[in-house]
Structure 1
């Protein structure tokens, strides 16, 4: 069964020897998140069974995101600024979660102070920054681990490479990004969607 990529999840980076957590890394991630207003990218999604799907990502802060899957997948995931919608056009179903309750909320809300709920994870590579974000008081929301490469030309000096989402049942899905573009014009129309009534097709 296909599950929403934010409520399931897998690894973008492999484990490596431990390195000390550093406040500058957290501050740099915060600067990156605040510097990004829009982003587009290609994504490759891998679930815990190894199934791979591809598509395009469109993001506009605050709160808007669209995961458009390859044509053979009748699924659409859209954040409209308030809610995150999981739309399955093959069965005519939709589900909704408040954006702030999704692990993805850390990417969509530039006002979040991630130093309050995020920790740097060891990578063993000084050019890679990995940050895990979760709310210890609300474990049912799951957690997300963001992976960045240090790159001077990117917003805040970091290039988002992807993330790992893990739900409260331990299901994992990884997202790897490519062809990232920042600050590009993005219309609010990109986050509109059609109700997935049985027999309809996605936008």
Structure 2
């Protein structure tokens, strides 16, 4: 009996250690490692006044694949193909390309597709109910806080706080599974678009 009690207590202790907010978040993300969805965006200022509403689509896939297409009110596109990040402004007919590590080094959004332990150590993660708040330890981050909420293991909402005090909420819907090999994660420069290549090659 004593031995059984010792084993049970050891298992309980191990479970408690494994249930840190960071590991809880990783488990939820790993349960749904690739998906695409539609989103509705609402941006409010420091006075909680709505300053922008929009719609678009996104896709996330481990490792390091990200697609963010804001369609309304002003179109913009961000694609991370696992190596580089492409930031496209159709109105200006310009695209910037940066190395992945440089582009997302201080962004809490990186944790949604990144599993490098050293990267996760750069952020503080707190849990409340089915939501997780991600704060960068660096003061140089353009985004102060990212919060993600789940229904079970399905990501349903992303919210961002920036350094200007604006709060952006993205409600997700119409989710479907997707793989990192999907064509959506490949960016092809449109004809006539100027390229600002910051990869230092």
Given candidates 32, 39, 45, the residue that maps to 1:36 is 32
TM-score when normalising by structure 2? 0.67
For 1:11, the equivalent position in structure 2 comes to none
Cα deviation, 1:127-172, whole Å, max 9, x if unaligned, reads x4221112223442422111123x2xxxxxx221111112233232
Q: Compared with structure 1, are the counterparts of its residues 111 and 196 closer, same or farther at alpha carbon in structure 2 (3 Å cutoff)?
A: same
Q: Which runs of 5+ in 2 are unaligned?
A: 1-16, 45-49, 195-201
Distance 1:23 1:116 in 2: 19
Q: Judging by fraction of residues, say which structure has more helix.
A: 2
Q: Compared with structure 1, are the counterparts of its residues 74 and 118 closer, same or farther at alpha carbon in structure 2 (3 Å cutoff)?
A: same
Q: Judging by fraction of residues, say which structure has more strand.
A: 2
For 2:157, the equivalent position in structure 1 comes to 162
Given candidates 101, 108, 126, the residue that maps to 1:103 is 108
Q: Which runs of 5+ in 1 are unaligned?
A: 1-21, 123-127, 152-157
| C-alpha RMSD of matched pairs (Å) | 3.1
Higher RCO, 1 vs 2 (CA within 8 Å, ≥6 residues apart): 1
**Alpha-carbon distance, 1:109 to partner:** 0.4
Larger Rg: 2
Distance 1:71 1:168 in 2: 23
TM-score when normalising by structure 1? 0.66
Given candidates 120, 124, 136, the residue that maps to 2:126 is 120
For 1:137, the equivalent position in structure 2 comes to 138
For 1:80, the equivalent position in structure 2 comes to 81
Distance 2:30 2:59 in 1: 17
Distance 1:72 1:52 in 2: 7
**Residues 175-186 of structure 1 mapped to structure 2, 5 A cutoff:** 175-182=170-177, 184-185=178-179
What's the secondary structure of 1:56's corresponding residue? strand
**Alpha-carbon distance, 1:105 to partner:** 0.2
Distance 1:144 1:39 in 2: 19
